[in-house]
Structure 1
Amino acid sequence: MSTTATLGTGTDQRLYDVADWYDAEALLTTDERTVLARLRNFLDAEAKPLLAGYWERGEFPEQLSQPLIDLDLMEPADLTVNGPVRGIYQGFRIFELARTDASLATWYTAQAGLFRTAIRVGASAEQQREWMPKVIDFSLKGVFSLTEPEHGSDIAGGLSTTARFETNSAAGPDGGSWVLDGAKRWIGGASTTDVLCVFARDIADGQVKAFLVDRTAAGVTLEKIHGKTSLRMMQNAHITLDGVRVPEAMRLHNVDSFKDVAAMLRAMRSDVAWIATGMQAGAFEAALAYVKERQQFGRSLGSFQLVQEKLARMLGNITASLSLVVRLTEQQSGGVVRDQDSALAKMQTSLMMRETVALAREVVGGNGISLAADVARFHADAEAVYSYEGTHEINALIIGRALTGVSAFTN
């Protein structure tokens, strides 16, 4: 499969002619495929040559950030002429980024997925009119700051960052400010963002609220998390909030409880399912290219029966994953958005991703642990994707609750 994405007039020219066995790409319009081809060409020419080195050093290639923004991928002008950007395009945009690198996909979806969803779901109509255009063109960059040092899977009931409101009568009815105290952890991209979308528990009513906090505000401390063996390029931060003041105008006015946060998570899990699917495609394509070229015992490694069986299993996983995320996206685009649907997609695609990247590493043999063979990044990065935005077990319990009508979550 050629890595150069060019689209001509012939119907036989496709972007995903190996990994997309059942041609889910056919659901894309020609204009959507053209935008994705531009992204593919940029990633192949500018990003791929840098990835191994930056991954090994644990640094993010910041020189890619502005060019990726300039590609105008979130709301491409040539796609919005006839209406809103379609969900299937957004899914394949994530797929394309993830088949190149999980950190790049995570970095982009932190803005286009997590932060944009926080504004779309949590902001008032007035706040959306002010902020959403800036979110789309990246002039207001934000990150989703929910997870805490001691609370991940139990964040709904365990969230311990606090917010208290202090009135200021001299400032009128909308005067006063909120004071935030606590800590957040594993927040990707926090060191280069403009605002942190921080979720905190209001001490007055015990409900979760959301705030846009200036990254440079007094009382905000960011520390880079070192020693990671997964998503090494993604810069994750530990954030400490010590008496941080936030004006009422910077509170997301439609977030009044964790139920509103859960509404955000439904969409975010869908994005992660697309990332898990794209990573499988990237690992599979790298492994397939390797076994076609590698010679062992005087013949192509790809000619051995056991290797071909593993390739077939990888392709089966990818095909099943694409079927899940495409159908989920179609449902959500049609207005059917349920916790159990996004949970099922995230759980199952992540499970298949884990097997696919392991098989890719396996067929490449000893070279599979080398960054040069291009499967080691996927193999390591899959562990982070497997866990974030809901672990396997948490998503299984969401599905189980929907199936039985009984919650198995512990208090």
Structure 2
Amino acid sequence: MITVIGTGTGAPVPPEAVAGAELVVGGRRHLDAVRLPAGAERVVLGPLAPALDIVEEYVGKDRPVLVLASGDPGFFGIVRALAERFGADRLDVRAGVSSVAAAFARVGLPWDDAVVVSAHGRELRTAVNVCRAHPKVAVLTGPGAGPAELGAAVPADRLLVVASALGDPERERVERVTPAEAAARDWGTTVSVVLCLDGTRALGPVRTVAGAPARPAGWALDEGGFAHRDSMITKFEVRALALARLGPRLGDLVWDVGAGSGSVAVECARLGAAAVAVEKTADGVERIAANARAHGVYVDVVCDMAPDALTALPDPDAVFIGGGGAELPAIVAACALRARRTVVVAMAALDRVPAAREALTGAGFSCDGVLLQSSRLAPLPGDVTRLAATNPVFLLWGTRIPVSDEGVAQ
């Protein structure tokens, strides 16, 4: 049997759990905090694979093993690796308080509506994008993915709560800082978790399902759901296909270039992605911000001209281009250089299609497109209905072609 004890956030290790162990595995600080039985082998966790090999030797001989872990070892912890290797029926897990639960408790906030993301040994950009998109996020930190790195990347209006050495009566610290303050400090190695909060939305409504908000029941919303100028808005038929090709999801970053009303950016944010809207007009910027507020989402709005405005933005997973005029080929080319997955371009002028397509294929994208023509039901006098045609729009999309380790397109 493998006994797994969660400790380190104030929960003591029961002496009886240690007494019979012949192998004790854990981080150095956890091992140093308990009195080990005479003769027990001690393994300090570093790389996981060698430690699991030693555990397997003991398990194969039915010798008792104790694993000491932080907080709740079933929450982004070692229980997953142990269960995959040895089977859940061989585990006796005794969970402590997770660092996330402890951090939210310290600041007096509920966390059933929080999104929890691990940046420990993982790409930081996913955590950053979740922090951009959602009002209450807990980030499990790691080397190169701590408060300083988060502070340098998240919106300036966020509040960061940095929790260090949780459960240690002498060293525990819980500090509230701005992103700029977090970015300017060296936080050492004791940080357990960082909470990223939008103070205006940190207390959400009562929830039935914990975690990330449920995906909306519908998308491709009617144009009437957005403030816009002179019908200058991506029609819902076009938006529906554009969203299908963009594939916005939690952890993604989407650019909406030439955003106009920001309808695409708002819809991407409703689907969980972080969204940046680039719009050159001041009144357009105000409309985008108002539309985001009306739909209860956050959209980062940049008032500038593309493609120059794109230089300072973080790399996107997907890009929607809904404007550009004569600069469209240069904008498509700039977006194609940066997009990790796909670029979608909506064009009313068919003349611009070849140049946009060439920009995408030249950047290594496979390319496809369709001319969308739709007719909507419209009332006529006498309680009858006609079909009213909308303006045709050409939708072009490019998908990045995967490249093998040998540099060959797959």
| TM-score class normalised by the smaller sequence | under 0.3
Considering fraction of residues, name the structure with more helix. Answer: 1
Q: Which has the larger radius of gyration?
A: 2
Taking CA–CA contacts closer than 8 Å with sequence separation of 6 or more, which of the two structures ends up with the larger relative contact order? Answer: 1
Using the size of structure 1 for normalisation, the TM-score is 0.26
